[in-house]
Structure 1
Amino acid sequence: MRARTVKVTPLRQNCTVLESPETGRAIVVDPGGDVQELLQILDGMTVDAILLTHGHFDHVGGADALRSGLMRRQHAPLSMIGPDRRDEFLLKSVAVQAQAFGLFDLQDACPDRYVEDGETLDFSGVRFEVAHCPGHTPGHVVYVCREDKLAIVGDTLFRGVVGRTDFPYGDHESLIAGIKRTLLSLPDDFVVLPGHGLPTTIGEERQNNPFLN
């Protein structure tokens, strides 16, 4: 799969589009907003699923609208999957979260189903491993594609830092433990696609991230 990052919402959240050039099929991860731009980028592709890493508005606020737009275009159902059920309270408060930042066009997200730690998802021959990695939010998950040496990690791990845990439901110790369990167990050459900022690698973070040493 070929990964493309599209920055959405004023928070410049990284929406990830994973496309197979051979088949024209795609998966979208964390469509936080700017749905019309995403629909233009996805024109000509068949989207198999929308995956969500966690329930913050900048990651999921455009998910329902994107699903509806793609279903009209593709004339077929489209699944929205994830995160872990423990983020349901956040998914149901997206509009309220967004309004606090002056954004009034984002919607609550209603996934077709939640995911669980250790399960696998298969789309067009591409397999994603799901790992629960709480701390930033209670139900945060990461998606790992071993075939492409790729980890899509939402707001858990960034280049040189880790995700915020200063929310009422945040837990720094759980976040660090989850990163070490789910991500630092991967080989050094895996590419990490975070929810904000630039990509990194597992090896780079294992060596140089001060929060993990």
Structure 2
Amino acid sequence: MSIKVTIVPVTPYQQNCSILKCESSGKAAIVDPGGDTDRILAAVEQLGASVEKIILTHGHMDHCAASDLLRQQLSVPIEGPHEDDRFWIDKLPEWCKMANFPVAEAFEPDRWLAAGDTVTVGEQTLRVFHCPGHTPGHVVFLHDGQRLAWVGDVIFQGSIGRTDFPRGNHDELIASIRSTLFPLGDDITFIPGHGPTSTFGQERQSNPFVADQRYG
């Protein structure tokens, strides 16, 4: 059995919130709920899933602002991101106010994640990779069986994450992509934080920021 995935674009930022359902158990995880909880929960209901946790790639508001609300509503834990993103989550109210984003309170995840950790969704397992650069505590989730990754704002189809935010680091971001993600395999399809899916192989060939020909 495998994972069934529904992508729900949320907030004015059109952030890709994913719902992962373990088909054998019916258990599900919500990845990066930035807002629009009614839309997210409607998608969960349509999947016929039972949410058992929320998992976060990083601490930016468009990826995590609805996390604590859903945690309270569903009585489930939050796992992720890496603790180096604590300062982003601590300042959520300020960032939301500055961006005219629906106000969200600071929160503490139930579990911070680190490189080499695993996260379970029902009977399925996701591997965790620490991929700093866009934010210092950014993590990526990989389901080996389906060759599917959730990369947040590390890499997009034809682009990469911004590094002009506090504690962003362009060199770290390039290293995260080329040294951590690309070696996982060209065949891996990734769901980015915004926009369409792609594969690591496609980005190695054609992404102007990280393609092999640029670093050959």
Is the TM value for this pair above 0.5? yes
From 38, 43, 46, the counterpart of 1:41: 43
From 49, 53, 56, the counterpart of 1:52: 56
Residues 1:164 and 2:162 are matched in the alignment: yes
CA distance in 2, matches of 1:196, 1:141: 16
Residues 41-69 of structure 1, C-alpha deviations (whole Å, 9 max, x = no match): 22242112110011100000000111112
Which position in structure 2 is the counterpart of 1:7?
9
From 136, 140, 148, the counterpart of 1:138: 136
Equivalent residue of 2:183, what SS?
Answer: coil
Name structure 2 gaps, 5 residues minimum: none
Which position in structure 1 is the counterpart of 2:74?
70
Residues 74-117 of structure 1, C-alpha deviations (whole Å, 9 max, x = no match): xxxx2200111000010111121111121234332321010011
Q: Higher mean Cα deviation, 17-26 or 111-120?
A: 17-26
Please, what TM-score do these two structures have when normalized by structure 1? Answer: 0.93
CA distance in 1, matches of 2:185, 2:21: 23
Are the aligned partners of 2:22 and 2:123 in contact in 1 as well (CA < 8 Å)? no
Equivalent residue of 2:96, what SS?
Answer: helix
CA distance in 1, matches of 2:23, 2:123: 13
Which position in structure 2 is the counterpart of 1:74?
none
Equivalent residue of 1:122, what SS?
Answer: strand
1:47 is matched by which residue type in structure 2? V
Number of aligned residues: 207
Are the aligned partners of 1:138 and 1:170 in contact in 2 as well (CA < 8 Å)? yes
User: What RMSD in Å do the two structures reach over aligned CA positions?
Assistant: 1.3
Which position in structure 2 is the counterpart of 1:207?
205
Please, what TM-score do these two structures have when normalized by structure 2? Answer: 0.91
Per-residue deviation, 1:19: 1.4
CA distance in 2, matches of 1:164, 1:170: 8
Which position in structure 2 is the counterpart of 1:108?
106
- Same amino acid, percent of matched pairs: 43
Which position in structure 2 is the counterpart of 1:86?
84
1:67 is matched by which residue type in structure 2? R
Are the aligned partners of 1:61 and 1:95 in contact in 2 as well (CA < 8 Å)? no
Residues 144-171 of structure 1, C-alpha deviations (whole Å, 9 max, x = no match): 1111111100000000110000123110
Per-residue deviation, 1:4: 1.2
Are the aligned partners of 1:39 and 1:66 in contact in 2 as well (CA < 8 Å)? no
Equivalent residue of 2:9, what SS?
Answer: strand
1:37 is matched by which residue type in structure 2? R
Are the aligned partners of 1:60 and 1:109 in contact in 2 as well (CA < 8 Å)? no
Which position in structure 1 is the counterpart of 2:174?
176
